[in-house]
Amino acid sequence: MLIARSAQEAHLYIDLHVCVCGATQFDREHRLEDREGVLVSMYEGVCPQCGRTRSYAFTISDDRPPAPPAFGGPEPSQIIDPGEFLWVSDRMSTESGLRLLSTPAAEHREIRSAAAYGTAALEEVAKFLPEGADRIPEDRFTSERGREMYAKDPSRFTRKDIDAALELDRKVLAGIDRYSPPQSSEQSRSTAQ
């Protein structure tokens, strides 16, 4: 059975695994089941394209789940590999970066959650670095997408590149926080009136 460190990780796993017909999204319902004393988190729904039932079962790790946008604690994922996390980070960073460039600074707060999600995915990549190693070993790439990302540019999985990318992502988040701070509850009330 799949072991997820958080609901956020379970949802990402589902999003990364398309239906056999190729559809990526489906409306999913969630329920918890007790299977011989083990709590199982079930996600099920019908593919809108082909009508197949899609079903995923996860046990949740014993560690307390982190607050979103984090996917898990200090240990690397057992169900999503570093290449998949980098792919997600790239997509979110590109999307949020383009939006940041095309909107006034006062509106950047609306983009922060997407940028933070991309940063959280990149932080997951770093968790695959063995202590003292300068790169993620090739055998840690277990998915087709992950192996493709590694084959395309192995240098992106070095400690140096991951640290540099994380530093840049964190600067972007700090810039959003500095130039587009969240509204105080008093400002929100006066705006709503």
Evaluate whether 141 touches 150 at the Cβ level (below 8 Å). yes
Neighbours of 58 (CB within 10 A): 22
CA distances from 94 to 8, 30, 37, 72, 149 (A): 21, 30, 43, 23, 16
pTM over 0.85: yes
Q: What is the pLDDT along the chain (193 residues), one digit of tens a residue?
A: 999 999 999 999 999 999 999 999 999 999 999 999 899 999 999 999 999 999 999 998 878 889 999 999 999 999 999 999 999 999 999 999 999 999 998 889 999 999 999 999 999 999 999 999 999 999 999 999 999 999 999 999 999 999 999 999 999 999 999 988 786 544 444 444 4
Complete domains list, the chain, with CATH: 2-60 (2.20.25), 82-182 (no CATH)
Strand, helix or coil at 18? coil
Q: How many Å apart are CA 85 and CA 71, to the nearest integer?
A: 10
